[in-house]
Amino acid sequence: MANLKITLIHGVVNTTPRQRATVQTLGLHKIGQSVVREDTPANLGLVNAVRHLVTVEEAD
């Protein structure tokens, strides 16, 4: 499977509790932090929920 590199580009201070929980579930804590996750429907749904807070790239 392909991998996704997810980077937090905006803070979560002024977001809903649900969005904060989604960012935490992805494993992101600080602005600029990146994680690599598998390209699964579950992960794509999490990314879609906070798409305005993160950037997504394909990782090798």
> Domain holding 16: CATH number?
3.30.1390.20
Q: For residue 45, what are the contacts with CB-CB under 8 A and spacing of at least 6?
A: none
pLDDT classification of 60: cutoffs 50, 70, 90: confident
For 5-57, how does the pLDDT look when each residue is reduced to its tens digit (9 = 90+)?
Answer: 999 999 999 999 999 999 999 999 999 999 999 999 999 999 999 999 999 99
Give the DSSP H or E segment for 16.
none
Domain count, the chain: 1
Question: Measuring CA to CA, how many Å separate 35 from each of 7, 12, 14, 38, 44?
Answer: 7, 17, 22, 10, 14
Model pTM?
0.92
Residue 26, classed as helix, strand or coil, is: coil
Look up the domain containing 11 and give its range.
3-59
Q: pLDDT band for 1, please (50, 70, 90 cuts).
A: confident
